[in-house]
């Protein structure tokens, strides 16, 4: 298990758990970061700035502190086709 | 489900328009209501409320635009407003506007409105875009599965709007809430059922919404729902049962109960979409990503961003100066035209100097605001604004600011009024407050004349360096102040930075025209009333009371002047006497007395009463500081920063040294901005924050000036 912040840009992932407290955790879950949802790290900015992530087929920007709290599994094309 | 309280005597339907940000809600609202709409605020908060109406088949449908939200939790003000509106005002129908290209996340909000027990109509917006992306939605089947009508529309082109209105009418006619509701899966349903039955057991409690909704919210540990249940006769039992439910759910699913609720809701949506949404991959949809590679790129992103901001800054103030000058000369012409027709010296002065001068100063900002919001709307509507926040967030976050704070801060160099107005692009109230309070530290254009005057007189070797130093100090203060505020007063309200990046879209001229009109007219109305009153006040305190005529003193002054300037013409003597009168009047007026009264406060900074008066009149507009000093130093009534007379008068005054000049520049930089900016702060943040800002800036300004004065004197620069 790793987190979004630890992934290289271009990596696809499956969300497992949002390990963040109340408001942030709920907000991320409401925006679609839920168990089993599929996403991609599109780009990371310089100097540990925010990350550009695609989740459920739309794009969001997260700060590293938030991305660090989203536990994911790297996802490889062959494993599954479900989003 | 609906009780008798909803009866109305008019056949008007009240319809709430809800949806995620970027769902195209505002576009739909504008295309439905056309010119028939007004903008206000939700009671007690500064969240905009748009209300408009559309006539359909001979009857009126009133539309209320709810704030754009992703969910209906108790965490964010916008979300509480949206749900309270539906719960308390009971509109006849809620229209949930959804982006068809991202249907799952948009249904997530839509289903929460359904749970509130009001008829919901789903508007599947941007259906053309979805089709071109290869997303086919079976609307009829989706309606059937979710138990609510679904209408495909294209808001930008008005397509499907009539079908939508018809669906609204029939949903309102049946007045029945949906027979279906979200299924949270067997484990949660078991607990929800038990909580719901317990809530229903008190007939006196009878909430105006389904008790099931309350049960769901209690499992989500929603603070507002917990408060609501406080009046229930079995309050303690309900709280105990909910606690038990939350503990069970959290140990069973190994995550927070409120997150489990979201996941189960998404599960339900995913099930419905699996049967109704077909996706066929389409090539060539990567245009947004291609553009992003440049605009958000590691190396090009920042230079492009700086170029864009510089461009807007230049455009606003370079292009804006022409209409500003036209307005200026128009008001000059107006004064000349109606001036002679006004009887009485005071009435004349009130109308010309007070009212026309005041209204003129308000209106002269309007061209800047129009140009600025034209540019901002383009950035916002194309989707660039959120990219810009991505680029600058890292740097600004270090100071407790937000990526989107950059633009307001930059604009602050021009004028605080549009800068504070542009903080609206920030979504969280906390970020908006920190940014708006940092804006006045960015030295505005109106303060420049004073800097030029003082730097030119007292730092003749390097005036530009002195002015740059003041600007630099301002920027440093903006950063430090934001850091301080976010660590103290605004601590603990940190909102997560999770921001959607909408795909690039071509803005419509109509949409932009709406934005510009709304912002400009709002400014003219809101700030206009306050500034008009303030201008009249400033006029009054600088005019009254009038000193008694003193022919002797006047003649003495005239002969003294003739002695110093033997060859003076009659005109020169008259001009000198006019300046003498103006100075005497001002000193005798309330403003002059105020200057004397606050002298003890500014004395430690090395200032005398004259500077006190200039600081007081400076609240009307910072440019006035220079002309006030011109009057007080009795060199003339229309002095500018380049005036030789004022410079030499300042140099001759023993109170002024290079140190005093520097301290004064620093003081004017930091003390509260002009009335126009203060009125804007009040309009955006409310009285409480305005009062805070006033005290905050006054104390920092004084403390900083005092420190500079003390250090300077200790180092022997004061001589």
Would the pLDDT of B9 be above 50? no
Mean pLDDT value across residues B562-567? 80
Would the pLDDT of B76 be above 90? no
- Is B498 in contact with A62 (Cβ distance < 8 A)? yes
ipTM: 0.89
Q: What is the pLDDT of residue B4?
A: 39
The backbone region for B133, taken as left when phi is positive above 0, alpha when psi lies in -120 to 50, beta otherwise, is alpha
Tell me how close the Cα of B453 comes to any Cα of chain A, in angstroms. Answer: 42
Pick the CATH number of A2-74 from 3.20.20.10, 2.30.30.90, 3.40.50.300, 3.40.50.1360: 2.30.30.90
Lowest average pLDDT, out of B344-348, B367-371, B490-494, B679-683, goes to B490-494
Q: Which of B289, B298, B497 lies closest to A46 in CB terms?
A: B298
The answer to whether the beta carbons of residues B16 and B64 sit under 8 Å apart is yes
**Mean pLDDT of the residues in chain B:** 83
Check residues B516 and B143 and name the one with the higher pLDDT. B143
Instruction: Name the pLDDT band for B162 (thresholds 50, 70, 90).
Output: very high
b or e along B446-485 (b: 16 or more beta carbons within 10 Å of the residue's beta carbon)? Answer: bbbbbbbbbbbbbbeeebeebbebbbebbbebbbebbbbb
Q: Which of A29, A46, A56 lies closest to B259 in CB terms?
A: A29
Count the alpha carbons within 13 Å of B461 in the hemisphere toward its beta carbon: 1
Mean pLDDT value across residues B643-649? 78
Residues of B in contact with A61 (CB under 8 A): 386, 389-390, 393, 497-501
Check residues B253 and B643 and name the one with the higher pLDDT. B253
Nearest CA in chain A to B265: A30
Is B493 at the interface with chain A, CB within 8 A? no
Q: Which of residues 371-400 of B touch A (CB under 8 A)?
A: 386, 389-391, 393-394, 397
Would the pLDDT of B636 be above 70? no
- Provide the strand spans (E) within B459-540: 498-501
Structure tokens at B663: 């301290």
Pick the CATH number of B186-279 from 3.40.50.2020, 1.10.260.40, 1.10.287.1770, 1.10.760.10: 1.10.287.1770
Would the pLDDT of B486 be above 90? no
- CATH class in words for B4-174: alpha beta
What span, in angstroms and rounded, lies between the C-alpha atoms of A30 and B73? 9
Would the pLDDT of B249 be above 80? yes
The answer to whether the beta carbons of residues B235 and B229 sit under 8 Å apart is yes
Mean pLDDT value across residues B110-124? 92
Residues of B in contact with A22 (CB under 8 A): 75, 221, 256, 258
- Per DSSP, B157 falls in state G
Domains of chain A, residue spans: 2-74
The model's pLDDT over B425-445, given as tens digits with 9 standing for 90+, comes to 677 788 889 999 999 999 887
What span, in angstroms and rounded, lies between the C-alpha atoms of B505 and B519? 22
Q: Which of A26, A47, A62 lies closest to B394 in CB terms?
A: A47
Q: Which of B75, B101, B502 lies closest to A23 in CB terms?
A: B75
Q: What is the pLDDT of residue B698?
A: 92
Q: What is the pLDDT of residue B516?
A: 83
The model's pLDDT over B185-201, given as tens digits with 9 standing for 90+, comes to 898 899 999 999 888 88
Check residues B63 and B365 and name the one with the higher pLDDT. B63
What span, in angstroms and rounded, lies between the C-alpha atoms of B519 and B9? 35
Nearest CA in chain A to B270: A83
Q: What pTM value is reported for the model? A: 0.76
Check residues B569 and B360 and name the one with the higher pLDDT. B569
The model's pLDDT over A10-19, given as tens digits with 9 standing for 90+, comes to 889 999 888 8
Residues of A in contact with B256 (CB under 8 A): 22, 25-26
Q: What is the pLDDT of residue B74?
A: 81
Q: Which of A17, A45, A60 lies closest to B298 in CB terms?
A: A45
In this structure, the number of other CB atoms found within 10 A of the CB of residue A46 comes to: 11
- Residues 6 or more apart whose Cβ sits within 8 Å of residue B174: B119
Q: What is the pLDDT of residue B43?
A: 61
Domains of chain B, residue spans: 4-174, 186-279, 290-341+366-442, 444-478+524-545+589-719, 546-580
- Is B497 in contact with A49 (Cβ distance < 8 A)? no
Q: What is the pLDDT of residue B350?
A: 81
The model's pLDDT over B652-701, given as tens digits with 9 standing for 90+, comes to 888 888 999 999 999 999 998 888 888 888 888 889 999 999 999 999 99
Q: Which of A23, A49, A60 lies closest to B393 in CB terms?
A: A49
Interface contacts A/B by beta carbons within 8 Å: 119
The model's pLDDT over A12-64, given as tens digits with 9 standing for 90+, comes to 999 988 888 778 888 899 999 998 888 999 888 888 888 999 998 889 999 88
The model's pLDDT over B353-363, given as tens digits with 9 standing for 90+, comes to 777 776 676 67
Start-to-end C-alpha separation, chain A: 19
- Is B501 in contact with A30 (Cβ distance < 8 A)? no
Is B401 at the interface with chain A, CB within 8 A? no
Instruction: Name the pLDDT band for A81 (thresholds 50, 70, 90).
Output: very low
């Amino acid at each position: 298990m790793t987190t979004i912040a630890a992934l290289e840009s271009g990596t696809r992932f499956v969300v497992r758990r949002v390990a963040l407290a109340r408001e942030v955790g709920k907000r991320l879950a409401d925006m679609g970061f839920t168990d089993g949802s599929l996403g991609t790290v599109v780009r990371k900015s310089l100097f540990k700035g925010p990350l550009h992530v695609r989740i459920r087929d739309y794009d969001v920007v997260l700060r590293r502190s938030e991305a660090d709290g989203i536990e994911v599994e790297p996802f490889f094309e062959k494993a599954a086709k479900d989003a | 489900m609906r009780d008798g309280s909803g009866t109305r005597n008019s056949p008007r339907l009240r319809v709430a328009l809800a949806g995620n940000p970027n769902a195209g809600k505002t576009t739909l609202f504008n295309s439905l209501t056309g010119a028939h709409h007004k903008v206000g605020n939700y009671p007690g908060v500064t969240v905009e409320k748009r209300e408009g109406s559309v006539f359909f088949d001979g009857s009126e449908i009133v539309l209320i635009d709810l704030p754009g939200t992703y969910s209906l939790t108790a965490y964010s003000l916008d979300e509480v407003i949206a749900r309270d509106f539906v719960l308390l005002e009971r509109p006849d129908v809620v229209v949930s506007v959804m982006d068809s290209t991202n249907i799952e996340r948009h249904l997530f909000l839509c289903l929460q409105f359904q749970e509130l027990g009001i008829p919901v109509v789903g508007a599947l917006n941007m259906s053309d875009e979805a089709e071109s992306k290869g997303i086919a939605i079976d609307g009829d089947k989706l309606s059937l599965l979710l138990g609510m009508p679904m209408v495909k529309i294209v808001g930008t082109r008005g397509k499907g709007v009539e079908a939508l209105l018809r669906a609204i009418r029939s949903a309102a006619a049946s007045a029945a809430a949906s027979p279906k509701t979200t299924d949270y899966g067997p484990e949660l349903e078991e607990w929800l059922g038990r909580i719901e039955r317990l809530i229903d057991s008190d007939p006196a409690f009878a909430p105006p919404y389904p008790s099931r909704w309350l049960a769901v919210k209690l499992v989500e540990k929603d603070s507002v729902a917990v408060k609501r249940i406080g009046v229930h006769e079995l309050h303690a039992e309900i709280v105990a049962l909910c606690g038990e439910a939350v503990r069970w759910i959290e140990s069973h699913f190994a995550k927070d109960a409120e997150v489990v609720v979201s996941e189960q809701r998404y599960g339900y949506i995913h099930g419905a979409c699996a049967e109704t949404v077909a996706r066929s991959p389409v090539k060539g949809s990567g245009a947004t990503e291609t553009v992003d590679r440049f605009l958000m790129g590691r190396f090009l992103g920042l230079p492009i961003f700086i170029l864009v901001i510089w461009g807007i800054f230049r455009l606003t103030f370079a292009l804006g100066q022409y209409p500003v000058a036209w307005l200026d000369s128009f008001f000059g012409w107006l004064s000349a035209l109606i001036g002679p027709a006004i009887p009485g010296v005071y009435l004349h002065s009130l109308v010309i100097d007070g009212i026309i001068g005041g209204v003129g100063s308000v209106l002269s900002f309007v061209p800047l605001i129009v140009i600025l919001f034209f540019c901002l709307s383009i950035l916002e509507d194309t989707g660039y604004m959120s990219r810009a926040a991505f680029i600058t967030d890292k740097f600004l976050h270090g100071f407790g600011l937000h990526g989107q704070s950059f633009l307001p801060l930059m604009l602050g160099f021009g004028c605080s009024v549009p800068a504070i107005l542009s903080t609206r692009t920030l979504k969280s109230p906390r970020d908006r407050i920190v940014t708006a309070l940092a804006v006045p530290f960015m030295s505005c254009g109106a303060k420049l004349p004073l800097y030029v005057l003082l730097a030119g007189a007292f730092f003749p070797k390097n005036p530009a360096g002195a002015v740059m130093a003041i600007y630099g100090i301002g920027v440093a203060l903006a950063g430090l102040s934001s850091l301080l505020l976010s660590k103290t007063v605004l601590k603990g309200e940190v909102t997560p930075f999770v921001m959607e990046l909408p795909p690039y879209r071509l803005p419509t001229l109509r949409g932009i025209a709406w934005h510009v009109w709304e912002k400009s007219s709002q400014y003219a109305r809101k700030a206009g009333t306050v500034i008009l009153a303030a201008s009249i006040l400033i006029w009054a305190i600088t005019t009254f009371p009038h000193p008694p005529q003193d022919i002797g003193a006047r003649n003495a002054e005239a002969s003294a002047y003739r002695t110093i300037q033997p060859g003076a013409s009659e005109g020169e003597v008259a001009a000198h006497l006019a300046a003498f009168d103006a100075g005497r009047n001002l000193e005798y007026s309330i403003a002059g007395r105020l200057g004397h009264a606050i002298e003890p406060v500014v004395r430690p900074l090395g200032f005398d009463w004259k500077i006190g008066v200039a600081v007081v009149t400076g609240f009307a507009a910072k440019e006035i500081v220079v002309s006030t000093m011109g009057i007080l130093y009795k060199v003339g009534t229309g002095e500018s920063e380049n005036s030789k007379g004022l410079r030499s008068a300042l140099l001759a005054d023993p109170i002024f040294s290079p140190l005093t000049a520097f301290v004064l520049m620093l003081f004017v930089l930091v003390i509260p901005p002009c009335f126009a900016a203060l009125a804007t702060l009040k309009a955006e943040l409310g009285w409480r924050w305005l009062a805070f800002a006033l005290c905050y800036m006054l104390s920092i300004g004084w403390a900083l000036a005092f420190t500079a004065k003390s250090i300077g004197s200790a180092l022997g620069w004061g001589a």
